[in-house]
Homo-oligomer: A and B are copies of this chain.
């Protein structure tokens, strides 16, 4: 994601210190942080950054397709910086840990047209659930 800021600048994004810090936080560990976690980590480097800015910036990154929004539990949305490699998610029902996984096959192909009810289906998200080694 090191060239992310370049790409965004090319799209007319004004690069501010706040946006840079948010991008750096996402670029750090490849984990799935909530907006408030992103805010907390960003605030370590830029103490005055506001929650609203973090929410705005994350929303823009999602709209630009640089980050994926994941909501696996109906609680806070999580933000996945791994947007350029298609993948699905494996979630621990015990502790909530999330891993990126790469199933074989294409779930879209498994939905017959009779089951599409006239919808233009464009995407299939799969959430695998189970227990991680520590919780089992």
Binds B, one of A8-16, A20-28, A38-46, A115-123: A115-123
Residues of B within 8 A of A74 (CB): 69, 71, 74, 77
Within the oligomer, what is the number of copies of this chain?
2
Evaluate contact between B77 and A90: CB separation under 8 angstroms.
Answer: no
Evaluate contact between B126 and A130: CB separation under 8 angstroms.
Answer: no
Q: How large is the interface on A (under 10, 10 to 19, 20 to 34, 35 or more residues)?
A: 35 or more
Besides A101-B111, A105-B110, A120-B136, 9 more A-B contacts (Cβ < 8 Å) are A90-B117, A103-B110, A111-B128, A117-B132, A118-B132, A121-B130, A122-B129, A125-B126, A125-B127
Residues of B within 8 A of A71 (CB): 71, 73-74
